[in-house]
Amino acid sequence: MHIKDKRSNLKNFISSFTNARVEELLSIDWNDREIGRWYDLGGNNKLIFLDRGTSEADIKEYHKVYTDIHIVLEGKDFIQIGSSIENYIEEYNATDDYALVKSHTTDEVVLEENEMLLLEPYQLHSNFLSKDSRKVVLKIENL
């Protein structure tokens, strides 16, 4: 299951401590952020800034422990949702809570600036950022 909402409602899905840390990190000027670096949000939660898509059409990822929250800061993000695993490209890695699989897209969610998408564990997904887009992904444990 996935939930699309406005970024302003993020506080309804995460703890107040985590939300305060996210807002602190989002206030940093884009040019001062390290793209692709994981930032600690406290507990086992983390955040990464991205400026490009991560996958091909029928290649999806999933997580067992973490809920992903994708937030578009600028531009558009096209999130591809899959429904079943055809085969594994990379077996599940418990350390990184990540598996890469082949799965046909059954749904697409378009996120625009200041929109977010919550993806629960086991939800197959990939994303395609439009040119000059920027986003952040939060990994929230046991949401």
**52: CATH:** 2.60.120.370
pLDDT per residue over 17-52, tens digit each? 898 888 888 888 877 888 889 998 888 899 999 988
> pLDDT tier at 54 (50, 70, 90 boundaries)?
low
> Read out DSSP for the chain?
-EEEEEGGGGGGTS-HHHHHHHHHHHTS-GGGS-TT-EEEEETTEEEEEESS----TTEEEE-SSEEEEEEEEESEEEEEEE-S-SEEEEEEETTTTEEEEE--EEEEEEEETTEEEEE-TT-EEEEEEPTT-EEEEEEEET-
> Structural domain of residue 63, as residue ranges?
2-141
Q: pTM surpassing 0.75?
A: yes
Count the domains in the chain: 1
- Check pLDDT > 90 for residue 119: yes
